[in-house]
Chains A and B, each alone.
Chain A
């Protein structure tokens, strides 16, 4: 039987921004994708050629990469994503948006769409660009050109429009924020450097060190089984099993018993959301009062410990940060806090992270991030078995030292053929992402730090403003990532901003008609991964980095074009105006076709010339990069700093761990919310979200929102194969597939809620419907909702109602703290109540009719089209 015609190789990581991971093989039969599967290297490479590695832990237990890619679940469903019923089928215009007449911005999100041709769409966009240029200037066009998405280079999914606009006067861009590690970025960097990330970027060979020397690892808000599915894949899971096998006690600390804890954990400490700082302070208190910390190490490796000690012992505010003090705040009994502190002081303990969650994406997340560094310092970080480790992003920003596993010789780059926005570029006209709604409303704003994930610590002291000088406000938004309201802070407020009178034109180019795309004036249909050729990389999977000759597997679905082609089409249309638009297409592309660009990408990817062979690369379709020679001898993580901090300093101003952050002291000495020394912050800077707050009378739950199990942010929510998994959706009494809302049985019983009930999660910012899942996997007083469920807006904006379960609609708009522009998307207050969904359907018949005949299936673009079946 013919089971395929041919096989292509692609990465299916969702890094975007020129990165790549999750290399897979895809078989094609009769012009359609027939299957997507892991790659096997053993037919193509020998272990010798790859400089195959083996790590050895306690009792001689080994760990090795294997010769098959550790493919996670997302790639296996990509056929459904490719052929989704929610693909944008053709260019569309909002039916009541008329650039010659009424623009009706107030109807964004409620009015429907009509089909238009590519020619008409490009003429409209070109005409709007020219109009905005003439009336307001180039910086009034804001490009939303970052975030996650398919990992492509030539046909990059984010930022092709910036290349075009750069050639005709410039543009404004929203900063690509460190959206999964806000607290480390805005906080931990001031304690231990580690630019630009703030998490441990000195992780070389730490996996083996942990397996040999650590007695326990604190998986602090760490869900490696969930958060790796869009990038690194399942080597992370195998690594965690190896640590288990080597006897490293797995202690999970999180409000929810997450997908990692339920299979790996030896112990779970269910801390209340965004109260980790209290727990950490109490641990420090035990060590200080019992003298069980590395005093000599602090003398030589840290500065300002006395400030911290003064605060913890209660000398500053009269409140000693005892375990008894912490217990009512963090929800962990004092006796358990003491036991943890004493265990930690007696053993080699490391900390594991995998981004996301309340620990690092809440208000004042700078504080737990810094306190973690303090605690690790108090126990001599860099000593064998005492470090922090990440299970994700192992070559972030091309830094091989981010990986705890033996690195490949080269972290390949796609830069030479990358047509997207380069993170950190266009710095003079950048808006910190978390403030973008203000710019959409036409406001003047100022803030500190560009806030892209790539900026180093000192950038946080730079005051910025928008608009710059005499430039005009934002008047046009050109987005290739219309998922702000599902992924960032203050979703409802953002939707209101999209509907503001100030925003005259909103163009979206995207493969799927999801979320904010439904507010656009013009929508362009974009291809997905297998519909174009490209140059790919895989540098986050932990085995061997790879470059990939990605062939087009199938014809574009519907009228889709790649992002790069779509922007070229607009360039052609702009040429009609001459002047600054003259010869724009040629200037944009250099006349190069995809194959030429792919070849240029390969030749400049970083693999030495002697090891490149273009013909062999095309023939095999991928090339693995062997493990670096002598990896065994590379210095373990922070061991250099431990042994001699003068020779191996950190990148803080003093080169040491700064309990007292000298940079913050210089620039923000009076900041009560991110001061020089990390503190417990009860409320302030727009946040009043503690169970002890007045607001908790009305909104008595803390929302915990981790990265989603069955999506990457807002993507994949239309995949039926996920939606039928028990933990993915809850089918309500009306047959609609609701986003699960986890409640502990104690809380559910009190509220009269049972599994399967439709509930509202609400606060001042609006209400989001979900399906109750009564479960022991979440502690009492917490309501758990994954972020990123595709919105299904019933009433848009602040005070509105969403049926899709997009919890970010009701998270705060205020940032981490006043001077730290990080998103706050977890650890805030909300109420929960059972709703009568049939009554709601009577009140909003048109909105509730959407998808009524599709059972549990997700969105369908046809629900939003006029005159289409």
Chain B
């Protein structure tokens, strides 16, 4: 079975995958694989976005999100009368006719990737572009439209090494999703260290990040801009100590439980004589 392998470090947020999916399915009738998707409101491929940090260290985490074609698919389990079925190639398809009226199918997906079409009174979702694969395409529209290589359509066997380091969506944990991510974001801390009395950044300051138990999570040194930055922390509280020769040490709390932490510029003081 094929896997959609998403390298989040290569996703620039262009939304090509979401748009190509709409181009393929909105207003186009691919029954018996899929009935037309409404012009707006459904996202069989959906790019989620989340702002991280604050001025002046800000990033956006884009996450292209897809039906996982799960081994243990809740939508399949929720269906009656064979309304959801797995093809020989592993793709899970909702039969547009048999699924009519079966709202439970739309409500079953923990990732919200099955939509309810009010007009057709039927659940709808990604088909993996089964109609195109059957017509000779090598990959679905979303992957075809990706310009950066963030999305790849890989054989589980051939890409075993890469897939070993990849993770599924948290919401699909334990279900055997076939959409996997590389480089999922982790929490970061960032700041700039300076001496306001002389208007100079402090280069080479030692920055130590410790968890609540006191274990060192990261040891950093401020760079030529007086900056420090570290990504790879857990959703937890940390203490950040900053030491530079000739200055009083500073200790700050970085509460990463809810968000990444960007400190106000850390202005070091000379010790009192």
Contact = CB atoms under 8 A, between A and B. Distances in A.
Contacts of B24: 35
A333 interface: yes
Interface of A: 1, 3, 29, 34-38, 70-73, 76-77, 79-80, 225, 229, 233-235, 237-238, 241, 257, 259, 261-264, 267-270, 323-324, 333-336, 338-340, 342-343, 346, 720-721, 723-727, 744-745, 775-777, 779-780, 856-857
B255 interface: no
Contacts of B53: 776
B60 A335 contact: no
Given A241-B10, A335-B196, A777 B145 contact: no
A711 B49 CA distance: 19
Contact of B199 (A263, A338, A343, A857): A338
A724 B135 contact: no
Interface stretch (B33-41, B68-76, B173-181, B242-250): B33-41
Closest 6 CB pairs between A and B? A234-B147, A262-B60, A70-B147, A334-B199, A257-B58, A776-B54
B23 A335 contact: no
B16 interface: yes
A72 B15 CA distance: 9
Given A3-B135, A338-B200, A269 B28 contact: no
B13 A1 contact: no
A687 B88 CA distance: 69
B58 A1 contact: no
A342 B223 CA distance: 12
Given A38-B145, A340-B225, A263 B57 contact: no
A259 B225 contact: no
B241 interface: no
A76 B200 contact: no
Contacts of B59: 262-263
A714 B49 CA distance: 25
Nearest to B19: A76
Given A324-B199, A339-B224, 4 more contacts: A234-B12, A257-B58, A336-B226, A721-B19
B44 interface: no
Interface string B26-54: 11101001000001110000010101011
Contacts of B132: 3
Contacts of B57: 268
A623 to B, nearest CB: 22
A282 to B, nearest CB: 11
A77 B19 contact: yes
Contact of B58 (A34, A268, A780): A268
Contacts of A339: 200-201, 203, 224-226
Q: Find the residue from B27, B192, B203, B225 having the highest chain A CB count within 10 A.
A: B225
Contacts of A780: 55
A241 B10 CA distance: 8
A540 to B, nearest CB: 15
B20 interface: yes
Nearest to B200: A335
Contacts of A259: 12-13
B130 to A, nearest CB: 9
Contact of A263 (B11, B19, B26, B40): B11
B41 A724 contact: yes
Nearest to A69: B147
B23 A35 contact: yes
Interface centre among B28, B33, B135, B195 (most CB of A within 10 A): B28
Q: Main secondary structure on chain A at its contact with chain B? A: mixed
B148 interface: yes
B211 interface: no
Contacts of B134: 1
Interface of B: 10-16, 18-20, 22-24, 26-28, 30, 33, 39-41, 47, 49, 51, 53-60, 62, 131-132, 134-135, 141, 144-145, 147-149, 192, 194-196, 199-201, 203, 224-227, 265
B248 to A, nearest CB: 18
A270 B16 CA distance: 29
Contact of A73 (B15, B56, B58, B194): B15
A71 B16 contact: yes
Contacts of B131: 1, 3
Contacts of B55: 257, 270, 744, 776, 779-780
Contacts of A234: 12, 14, 147-148
Contacts of B54: 745, 776
B246 to A, nearest CB: 16
A237 B145 contact: no
A728 to B, nearest CB: 10
A346 B225 CA distance: 12
A406 B60 CA distance: 32
B271 to A, nearest CB: 20
Contact of B13 (A76, A262, A724): A262
A81 to B, nearest CB: 12
A72 B199 contact: no
A38 B20 CA distance: 10
B265 A263 contact: no
A750 to B, nearest CB: 15
B58 A777 contact: yes
A238 B10 CA distance: 9
Given A323-B199, A776-B53, A37 B224 contact: no
Contacts of B265: 333
Contacts of B51: 262, 775-777
Contacts of A323: 199
A317 B234 CA distance: 54
Contact of A726 (B33, B49, B141, B195): B49
A782 to B, nearest CB: 10
Nearest to A724: B40
A262 B141 contact: no
With most chain A CB atoms within 10 A of its CB, the pick from B15, B33, B60, B149 is B15
Contacts of A267: 56, 225, 227
Given A1-B131, A724-B40, A233 B201 contact: no
20 contacts: A1-B134, A3-B135, A37-B23, A80-B39, A225-B13, A238-B148, A259-B12, A259-B13, A262-B59, A270-B55, A270-B56, A335-B199, A336-B225, A340-B225, A342-B224, A720-B39, A721-B39, A723-B40, A745-B54, A777-B51
Contacts of A268: 56-58
A519 to B, nearest CB: 29
A34 B29 CA distance: 10
Contacts of A721: 18-19, 22, 26, 39-40
A76 B225 contact: no
A646 B63 CA distance: 53
B89 to A, nearest CB: 15
B23 A38 contact: no
A509 B56 CA distance: 46
A776 B58 contact: yes
Contacts of B195: 335
